[in-house]
Structure 1
Amino acid sequence: MYAIVEIAGQQFKVEKGRYVFTHRLEGDTDAALVFDKVLLVDNDGTISVGAPTVEGAQVSGKILEHLKGEKVIVFKKKRRKGYKKKNGHRQYLTKVLIEDITV
């Protein structure tokens, strides 16, 4: 059983017992979360597609930790002009454990 859920403006395919890394969410560690924007549910071959969401479907999860992602190097250069600029960026992430999918 899996579901397509919108979390923090992004769509994720989630399954029970799996982890999802999302943009930083509000809440402390071990806080319970409920996601209502379920776009699709596959229940052992029976697919329910929402218009825009599946009514009555919910995905519950738990925040495991807040962390920072891998460093991304941003390098800009204009040839023959002597212009070079190097920046780095690390995205703030939240690790969420998917506990249950209810239809």
Structure 2
Amino acid sequence: MYAVVKIKGAQFKVQAGQKLYVNRMAEAVGDTVELNEVMLVDNDGSVTVGKPFVEGASVTAKVVNHLKDDKVIVFKKKRRKGYRKKNGHRSHLSQIEIESIKA
């Protein structure tokens, strides 16, 4: 059984027991989160697609950890002009574990 869920503006294909990294969530480590924006549910070949969300479907997840992603370097340059800018950032992430899918 798997589901396609919208979490913090991004879509993820999730299964029970799976761990994944999403944009930082406001909940504390150890809290349980109910995700109601389920777009698709596949229950052993029986596929339910929402318009845009599936009625009554939800995914329960637990926040495992808060961390920062690897550094991403942004480098801008205009040739022959002497213009060079180097910037970087580290995205804030949350690691969550999917506990159950309710269709």
TM-score range, shorter chain: over 0.9
* Counterpart-to-counterpart distance in 2, 1:77 and 1:51: 45
- Offset of 1:20 from its aligned partner? 1.6
Unaligned runs of 5+ in 2: none
**What are the Cα deviations for residues 45-80 of structure 1, in whole angstroms up to 9, with x where unaligned?**
100000111111100000000000011000000000
Show the 5 A alignment for 1:32-43. Answer: 32-43=32-43
1:46 maps to 46
Show the 5 A alignment for 1:49-88. Answer: 49-88=49-88
Unaligned runs of 5+ in 1: none
For the aligned residue pairs, the C-alpha RMSD in angstroms reads: 0.5
- Please tell me the residue identity of whatever aligns with 1:69: D
Does the residue aligned with 2:91 lie in a helix, a strand or coil? strand
* Counterpart-to-counterpart distance in 1, 2:27 and 2:35: 14
Structure 1 segments (4+ residues) deviating >6 Å: none
Q: TM-score, normalised by structure 2?
A: 0.98
Q: How many residues align?
A: 103
1:18 maps to 18
Q: TM-score, normalised by structure 1?
A: 0.98
* Counterpart-to-counterpart distance in 2, 1:45 and 1:53: 19
* Counterpart-to-counterpart distance in 2, 1:46 and 1:76: 49
Does the residue aligned with 2:63 lie in a helix, a strand or coil? strand
